[in-house]
């Protein structure tokens, strides 16, 4: 899985079906437990173009309120929110092969924090060497 970032407001999670499935299941388990943190390491040996950098880790944590997506001070992609809002976020990870989704705030979206950094989730076709 690749975590891509171009400051201040372009983020992407790019993975194959199994990686995105593991991420989605981890979010659902975390939301069901209603407590704790879920982390996943990301690939780091690649050119992030057209983004400017890659992030090393994804961290998801239970808190209160709507889902907030941001890059934290440690350079990790952090996602926090209530169990209910994270369960809704998990649906954005369910992406068909070759497709992508956008997760970003819009007026009336009570389960997305208004300061969320827009995020693209892409299920890419694996390339073999």
Stated as kind and residue range, the H or E segment containing 70 is: strand 68-71
How many percent of the chain have pLDDT more than 90?
A: 91
CB 47 within 8 A of CB 34: no
Residue 126 scores a pLDDT above 90: no
User: So what's the pLDDT on residue 35?
Assistant: 86
Alpha-carbon distance of 45 to 21, in angstroms, equals 22
Alpha-carbon distance of 114 to 61, in angstroms, equals 18
Residue 58 scores a pLDDT above 80: yes
- Mean of all residue pLDDT scores within the chain: 94
Q: What are the DSSP calls for 38-57, one per residue?
A: EEEE---SS--TTSSEEESE
Average pLDDT, integer, range 95-118: 95
Q: How confident is the model at residue 127 (pLDDT cuts 50, 70, 90)?
A: low
Average pLDDT, integer, range 31-37: 91
| Cβ neighbour number for residue 103 with a 10 Å cutoff | 22
Look at 127 and 31; give whichever has higher pLDDT: 31
Q: Which two tokens mark 60?
A: 């998801």
CB 83 within 8 A of CB 68: no
What ranges do the domains of the chain cover?
2-123
Q: Tell me which residue has tokens 């970032």.
A: 5
Which fold, 2-123? Gyrase A; domain 2 (3.30.1360)
């Amino acid at each position: 899985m690749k975590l891509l970032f171009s400051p201040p407001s372009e983020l992407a999670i790019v993975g194959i079906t199994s990686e995105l499935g593991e991420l989605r299941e981890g979010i659902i388990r975390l939301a069901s437990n209603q407590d704790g943190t879920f982390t996943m390491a990301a690939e780091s040996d690649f050119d992030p173009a057209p983004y400017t950098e890659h992030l090393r880790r994804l961290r998801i944590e239970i808190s209160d309120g709507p889902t907030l997506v941001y890059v934290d001070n440690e350079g990790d992609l952090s996602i926090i929110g209530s169990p209910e809002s994270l369960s809704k976020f998990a649906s954005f990870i369910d992406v068909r092969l070759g497709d992508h989704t956008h997760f970003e705030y819009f007026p009336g979206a009570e389960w997305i924090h208004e300061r969320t950094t827009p995020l693209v989730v892409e299920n890419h076709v694996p390339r073999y060497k």
